[in-house]
Structure 1
C-alpha cells in the first residue's frame, strides 16, 4: 500500500498553484495519471522519486519515505523512473546501461529477451531507434525490481505501432514483477489498455478518480458514443454546415445546424455524441 499526502507550492508560467494530493494506492495497481499540461503530474512523480521536496507524508508499505522531519534519499527509494528523453549513458552499450544499475547479468538478459533487445545488447544507444532506446530505458528501470515504477509519458514521441508494442511490453513487465506502476499519459487508448485506475489532476488537485471505463467513456442516458475533440473549422457546403473536429489523431466531419454553426468557435473543445448509430467495424490495413 502506498499512502500519499503531500503538498507543494508551484510557480508556473500561467499562475501559481498548490499541488495538494491525498490518496492511497494498492500494491500492484497500474495507475494512469492524467490531466492538462501544468496540472502537477510530472512534479508529483518527481516528489515520489525524491527528486523534488514537498511537505507532508509518503509511506510505501511499512516504510516512511517522506515525513515532516525525514526525506528518504533517492538512492534508497525502491523506484524505477522512465523519462521522456530516455536518459541513457551514451558511452555504454545497451547491456552496460542495465548492469550499471545492478550487477545482475541474468536479470539483464531476461529483460532484454522480453523486450526483444538481446541482439542489440552490445550496441551503443546512439545507434538505436527511438523505440529501441525507450525499451532500454524501461529495462534499466526494472533492474532493481522496483516497488514503484514511474513513467512520465514514455511513449509520447513514438508512432502508433511502436506505442502499442511497448504498451504490451510495459504491461507484461508490470505483471511479471508485480510492480506498482504510475504512468503519466494523455492517450485514452493507452490508459484504457494499461491502467486499472485513472487519477485526473487539475490545477494541482485531484478532480476525478475511477476506473478507465468510468473516466474515459463519457456517455450518458441513451447515448451510444461520445467523444471530445477540438473544433478546427466550420464550412458551408451547399445548404449544410460541416464541422471539422480533431478527435485524438483522427479528423472527423460532422453535419451541424445553422444555429450550432453560429454558436461554435474554432478552437472550442466540443463533445460529439450520438443516439442512433449503427457502426461497422473492420480490420485496418497498415
Structure 2
C-alpha cells in the first residue's frame, strides 16, 4: 500500500500542510501517533474517501483509489474499507444483528455468526443499542466494520472512552479480528500500552509530517519519545495468581513485580531479557530483541 497525500489544514497554530508519504505492508497493524491536531484523523478520512486531498495518490494492492494527476477518486462505498470511530454510530432502531448485517454488501449468515462469536455478541444479537454498555456498542461497531469484508480497517481512538479493564479486553478481541481476517489495520491511539500490544509499526506525525517510523520499541523506548520510566532486566519468576500472572524481574540488585494478563506472558519465559516500561502507573513488559 502506497500513500502520498497533501492537504492544507488549519491548526491551533494556524495553517499547515498535511504532507504524508508512507508505504504499508499488507496485513500490518499500523498505529498513527501524534498530538491532537497533527492531522491523524484527516489522514484516515482521506483513506476512506470521506475527505478529498489537495493532491497525491493512494494505491492499495495495485489498485488506484485516488490520483489527483489522473483525476481518479473512487467513492467511499467502492473502497474496501471498514471504519470505527469513538462515537459508535450505531442505528438505534436496529438490533445488534441488524446493525452488523447492514454493513454487508450481500447477506452472509456464516460471516454473521463468525463475527458474533468473535466479538462475544451472540447472546446480545436481538438487543438494541440503548440497552448495551459502551464496550458492547464498540464491539457491534467493530463487527459491522469487518462485515464489509474490508481490505483496510481504520480505527480512530475506538477504545478511548472505555475503562481500562474493558479496553484491555477489547484490545485482545481487536487483535484476534485483525489476524483472523488478515486485515491491514490503521489505529489512532494515545495509549502507549495499547500501541505496544497491538502494533507492528508506528508512524509519528508532527505538524502534518511523519517525523519517525518503526517498531513500537524503537519509537517509544529507544528514542524515549514517551517520557516513560523504563528498566531493563531479567525474568526470575512467572507465577499465576487467580486470573493474572505476577512476573518478577531482576533489575540491577532489585526485584520488580509486574501484573500481566495471560496474553502478555505467552512469549515470556524465566531467563528472558525484558524491558519494563510504565506510563501513568500502567506498567507493561516488552521482550528485548
Whether these two folds match at TM > 0.5 is yes
How do 1:1-286 residues align onto structure 2 when only pairs under 5 Å count? Answer: 2-54=1-53, 55-68=55-68, 69-102=71-104, 103-218=107-222, 228=227, 278-283=254-259
1:253 counterpart residue number: none
Q: Could you tell me how far 1:109 is from its partner in structure 2?
A: 1.5
Hey, what does 1:236 align to over in structure 2?
Answer: none
Q: Which deviations, in whole Å up to 9, do the C-alpha atoms of 1:149-175 show, x marking residues without a partner?
A: 000000000111111110000100100
Q: Separation in 2 of the partners of 1:147 and 1:73? A: 15
Partners of 2:170 and 2:195 lie apart in 1 by: 13
Per-residue deviation, 1:14: 3.0
Query: Whose Rg is larger?
Result: 1
Per-residue deviation, 1:101: 1.6
Partners of 1:115 and 1:196 in 2: how far apart?
Answer: 22
Aligned to 1:258: none
TM-score normalised over the length of structure 2: 0.78
Unaligned stretches of 5+ residues in structure 2: 230-250, 261-289
- Worse-matched range after superposition: 102-111 or 164-173: 102-111
Give the secondary-structure state (helix, strand or coil) at the position aligned to 1:281: strand
Root-mean-square deviation (Å): 1.9
How many residue pairs match? The answer is 235
1:212-236 CA deviation, whole Å, 9 max, x = no partner? 110111478xxxxx9626xxxxxxx
Residue ranges of structure 1 left out of the alignment (5+ in a row): 221-225, 230-246, 248-274
